[in-house]
Amino acid sequence: MPSRATKRTKLDSPAVPATKTSTSAEVEGKHRIFTHWSQARGVQINGVAPSQLPGRGLGLLTTRSIKAGERMLFIPEKAMFKPNTKFLKQHRLDRASPHAQLAISATAVYRAPDTSLACWEATWPTREDFWASLPLCWTDAERTDLPPSVLHPLERQLDDYRKDWAAVRDVCEAEGWDEEEFRYYWMIVNSRSFHWKPPRGRAGVMVMCPFIDYINHGPTGTTCRVTTDQRGYEVHADRDYAPGEEILATYGAHSNDTLLVHYGFLLPTNHSNPNPDDSIPLDNILLPHLPNATQSKLRDLGYLGAYALLPAPVNDICFKTSVAVRAELLSCNEWEYFMTNGEDLGSDQSGAVREFLLPVLREYWEECGVRMRELEAAGDGERGMKAALARSRWLQVREALEAYIEGGERG
């Protein structure tokens, strides 16, 4: 995706499921109305349209053949939703985070009874969608179902949200908006924001862009090209497309842990559908097996933590993990040579590194199996949906561990 706010990245376009009383025509109608609304504000739509994807919610599909490099979307500045600077200054919120500024501006506009933006909101995920799929909305007990690697990005997100809510709480209470209302728009911003730098050198802000937020996420190397300049945002085809193909955009080179926390979904990560952006953090399982003296040595040189197993198609450990294990196995000279040169001094020590790691990873593999069996008993309903999402990530972790373990045993 193009440059955007450092605090947040643009997120997925989640499903907009029909309610029990909605008909297909009603669902299609609200997207058709929003399409006309967007075009009236200067959005240029060329050969693509929103469509329901079986089992996957909503996406943007081609309506005709499209050539590589062809422009499919243009979102001008005037169509963007921006922070309300007058409202922010009036309530002394101009020093709040960019995320909080855009979220409270959206709360103010969309809670107004006569808002002109209702047709845009009708295309968004509901609160129930967020509450079921985003761990930010789960109870503490439900969050414990998640793998440890998911809890780290989740805690960072929770910290960001708490700071933003503290900044706007007094204003919300004065206006009669409760926390759940603000949190919903905070999550909408979290799933739809771009960084926009207006012309003439003004400071950049977070914005939302109509229609472009229909595009679903794809991993690096699989998506269309999204660019920005002083006029607005453009989406260009990365290859030739036949009619009826989905176009994707990358929200960043995010692991599935990050995708689950921020977007509420997981991408496949196996040989059939490799995700080159995914990784399986190993700190929780590896650090307890490294003595304090080894950890201190790693800390001094900036190599303590952030260890990972890279799943298919790589199926190997990251460089920092190789460094960490060698810190325990090798002499200081041998270890420093590896850090400097990326290869061992003398004989290759990769086999020794694997031998050290295999029992550690088998232990984690067994834990994954236990946790998956526990989550199978969650049943149906909302609790079951959350448990199924957590179980899916445990399964991905287990499969990545298994691939590495089997490779080591064959070696």
User: In the prediction, which pLDDT does 111 show?
Assistant: 84
Q: Is 27 in contact with 18 (CB distance < 8 Å)?
A: yes
Encode pLDDT of 251-291 as tens digits: 989 999 999 999 999 998 877 788 899 999 999 999 999 99
Encode pLDDT of 396-410 as tens digits: 999 999 999 998 554
Encode pLDDT of 15-57 as tens digits: 333 333 445 666 678 999 999 999 999 999 999 999 988 877 8
User: In the prediction, which pLDDT does 26 show?
Assistant: 66
- Read off the pLDDT of each residue in 363-372 and give the average, rounded to a whole number: 96
The architecture of the domain spanning 24-261 is: Alpha-Beta Complex (3.90)
> 20, exposed or middle or buried, with CB in 10 Å at 0-12, 13-18, 19+?
exposed
Do β-strands 44-45 and 71-76 pair in parallel, antiparallel, or remain unpaired? antiparallel
Prediction pTM value: 0.88
Do β-strands 280-281 and 232-236 pair in parallel, antiparallel, or remain unpaired? unpaired
Q: Which two tokens stand for residue 166?
A: 């503290």
Q: How far apart are CA 305 and CA 320, in angstroms?
A: 8
- Read off the pLDDT of each residue in 159-164 and give the average, rounded to a whole number: 98
Residue 366 CB coordination number (10 Å): 12
- In the chain, the percentage of residues whose pLDDT exceeds 70 is 91
Distances (CA, A) of 75 to 30, 81, 211: 20, 11, 8
DSSP 48-60: EEEEEETTTEEEE
Q: Which two tokens stand for residue 148?
A: 């440890």
Q: Is 163 in contact with 96 (CB distance < 8 Å)?
A: no
Q: How far apart are CA 233 and CA 45, in angstroms?
A: 12
Residues 6 or more apart whose Cβ sits within 8 Å of residue 381: none
Does a cis peptide bond (omega within 30 degrees of 0) precede residue 313? yes
The boundaries of every CATH 3.90.1410.10 domain in the chain are 24-261
Q: Give the side-chain half-sphere CA count within 13 A for 217.
A: 29
Encode pLDDT of 78-119 as tens digits: 999 999 999 999 999 989 999 999 999 999 998 887 777 899
Q: Which candidate, 301, 299, 309, 306, places its Cα nearest to that of 283?
A: 306
Encode pLDDT of 341-352 as tens digits: 999 998 999 999
pLDDT category of residue 4 using cuts at 50, 70 and 90: very low
